Each structure stands twice: as C-alpha cells, then as structure tokens.
C-alpha cells in the first residue's frame, strides 16, 4: 500500500503530465493509474485537440493505457486514479463503470476557466450518488492534493 510520500509522488507525476499536455497545445490535464501494490500501470494526458476526440480527457487516456497494459478490466478495480483536476461527469461515469476503488485529484472542476457543470455535478456529489446505488461499488474520493501546483500549470494554458 502506498503512503503519503508515494501519494505526493503519484500526484506530481499527474501534474507533470498536465504540463506535458500544455507544452503540446493540449488542455492541462494529466492522470496516473496506480495498482494496489503501488505500481503505475497507466498514465496519460489530455489529447482532445490532437486526436479530435472529445473523450480523450487525461483520465480516459490513463485508463485506456492501464487496461491495455493489464490486458483485462478486472485488476482496475483495485486501482487508484491520481488526476491533476477533478474528473468531469463523463470521466466519473467511466470511473464508476470500471469500478475503480479510489480517485485522488488536485485542482477542482470549478478552477477550470469557463467550465460549466452538467447538473451542477462534481465528483463528490456523483460519488455519493454511486455509493447509494445497490450493486455499484463505492468510490473513495480525496481532493485538493497539491492543488496549488496543479493551478500553477493551469495558468500556463491559453483557455481561449
């Protein structure tokens, strides 16, 4: 199991990936998938513009990478997703469907300039809804981890 130092290292990697995204003209979102043994099994950053794919959020890219590396979906259930920003509603649905154990994020969705929330939903509200559904696995959520570092990268991106 990972400790606080590992947690910070995983989040710093997600933030570094968000910085890579900015350097490539992509929105500043990066994510890392870590298994129960503390190994990085997937990572990625936003590639929406590069791939003309509105689903290519950092979390989605990292989850696709993890599933590809693991070869099957089952092991993802014991993983934690570290992401530079609170997942949007689309990513939250996928996180729930993949039955991830835990999500740790840095910046909040409300920190994204011009962001509009569908149903005024955030990850915490969605997780509470998921947790109350029979047959759905509860999702542990921790936010604001290294938030200032993530916000510094977000300021590097031209949001226009």
pLDDT in tens, the chain (160 residues): 556 679 999 999 999 999 999 999 999 999 999 999 999 999 999 999 999 999 999 999 999 999 999 999 999 999 999 999 999 989 998 999 999 999 999 999 989 988 877 777 777 778 888 888 888 888 899 999 999 999 999 999 998 7
Question: Domain limits of the chain?
Answer: 4-155
How is residue 33 written in tokens? Answer: 């998938």
In the block, tokens 């993890």 appear at: 66
Q: List Cβ neighbours of 48 (8 Å cut-off, separation of 6 or more).
A: 26, 27, 54, 56, 57
Q: Is this prediction's pTM over 0.85?
A: yes
- Which member of 19, 43, 59, 149 is catalytic? 59
| Beta-carbon count within 10 A of 109 CB | 18
Spatial distance between the Cα atoms of 130 and 2, rounded to a whole number of angstroms: 25
CATH of 4-155, one of 3.30.360.10, 3.30.1280.10, 3.40.50.720, 3.40.140.10: 3.40.140.10
Which residues have CB under 8 Å from 85's CB, separation 6+? 18, 28, 29, 58, 105, 106, 107, 108, 109, 111, 112, 150, 154
Residue 84, classed as helix, strand or coil, is: strand
User: Residue ranges of the alpha helices (H) in the chain?
Assistant: 4-23, 48-51, 58-70, 89-98, 123-131, 147-154
59 catalytic residue (yes or no): yes
3-state helix, strand, coil in the chain (%, to 5): 45, 15, 35
């Amino acid at each position: 199991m990972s400790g606080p130092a590992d947690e910070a290292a995983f989040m710093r990697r997600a933030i570094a990936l968000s910085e890579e995204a900015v350097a490539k003209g992509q929105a500043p979102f990066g994510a890392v998938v870590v298994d129960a043994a503390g190994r990085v099994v997937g990572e990625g950053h936003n590639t929406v513009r590069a791939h003309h794919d509105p689903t290519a959020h950092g979390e989605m890219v990292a989850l696709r990478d993890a599933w590809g590396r693991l070869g099957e979906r089952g092991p993802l259930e014991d993983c934690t997703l570290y992401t530079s920003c609170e997942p949007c509603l689309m990513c939250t649905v996928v996180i729930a469907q993949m039955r991830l154990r835990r999500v740790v994020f840095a910046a909040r969705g409300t920190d994204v300039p011009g962001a509009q929330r569908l149903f005024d939903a955030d990850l915490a509200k969605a997780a509470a809804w998921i947790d109350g559904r029979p047959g759905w696995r509860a999702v542990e959520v921790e936010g604001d981890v290294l938030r200032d570092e993530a916000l510094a990268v977000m300021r590097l991106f031209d949001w226009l």
